[in-house]
Amino acid sequence: MAGRLLAGAVVVVAAVAAGSPGSMPFAPGEQASYEVRFMGVPAGVAQITVGLRTQHSGKRVLPLVCVGQTTSVAGVLQINDRFISYYDPQTHKPVGLDYFVDENRKRRRERFRFDTEQSRVFANKKKEGEGPYDVDYEVPANTMDLASATFWLRTQPIAVGAVHEIPIFTGARWYPMKATVEGAETLSTKLGEVPVFRVSITTDFQGNAATTSNVLVYYTADERKLPVRVTAEFVVGSVSADIVQYQPGSASL
C-alpha cells in the first residue's frame, strides 16, 4: 500500500513565463531528488529530471522524466515506476506521455498522444502477458498530465492569492485541477532555509489513493520556482516528499 501511495506522490511532485527554453525557470539537465515518507516513515525515493531536447510527434520537446521506487522498508508492495511527459516549451503543453509501471512484479506500459486540434488523447496500452490495445479519450482544450502541469505552474506568476486552473488527464479520465497560492513562509530543507510559496492543488485520485484534502506543494520564492516539499493526506495515511538533492539545468544543452 505504501508503494502505491509513493507512486501517487511521485506524480504529484512531478507526479507542479512564456518564451524560449532559456527564459524558463527550468532547463535540460535539471534534476531533483526527493525522499518520500508514509506516515512519517521513509518509504521510497523520487527523482525528476528534465531531459535533453528531442523530437516527439513532430515537435521539439523536453522530456520530463519522473522515477519512483519504494525502499526495502516500504512493505511487501515494491514499486519501480517511470513516467515521461514530453513537454513542448513553446506552447507549454504536453504532446505525449509514456508510463512504465512495475508494481509487485506486475508490469504494464501505457503510451499517450495529445491531439489539441481534435481535443483527444490517443492511447496504446499493454499489460504483461496480454496483447496491446488502442483507446482514445475526449478531453477539453489545453489538457495536461500532472507532470507537465507541475512544470507549467513554474512558468506562471506565483504570488499569494493567485489561482491557476487547468484540465488534468489521469490516464483514463480528466478532471479540472485548481492550484491556489495560499501563502508565503520559510521551510527548513536539505537545501537550507528556503522562502517558499504554499500552493494548494485539487486532485482526483481514486480508491486508496484518494485524498481527504488538497495536496500542498511548496515552490521556492525565486526564479526557479522549484517544488521542495509535497504533502498529502490520503484515506489510508499521510504522504510527504522532501527534496534532498538538486542540480540546475543549462539552457545550452
> Can you give the pLDDT at residue 9?
54
Strands (E), the chain: 31-38, 41-50, 54-56, 59-70, 80-88, 93-103, 106-115, 120-127, 133-138, 163-169, 174-189, 192-201, 215-220, 227-234, 237-247
The three-class DSSP label of residue 123 is strand
The three-class DSSP label of residue 124 is strand
CA distance 249 to 253: 8
Identity of residue 229: R
Give the Å distances, CA to CA, from 213 to 7, 41, 45, 59, 97. Answer: 18, 21, 23, 37, 27
Give the Å distances, CA to CA, from 50 to 9, 47, 141, 185, 230. Answer: 18, 10, 25, 27, 19
Q: How much is the pTM?
A: 0.85
Residues of the chain predicted below pLDDT 50: 1-5, 13-22, 74, 76
Nearest to 145 by CA among 179, 114, 123, 103: 114
- Residue pair 161/178 in contact (Cβ under 8 Å)? The answer is no
Model confidence over 76-128: pLDDT tens digits?
456 678 889 999 999 999 999 999 887 767 788 999 999 988 999 999 999 98
User: Count of CB atoms within 10 A of residue 44's CB?
Assistant: 27
Q: Which three cell numbers stand for residue 27?
A: 532547463
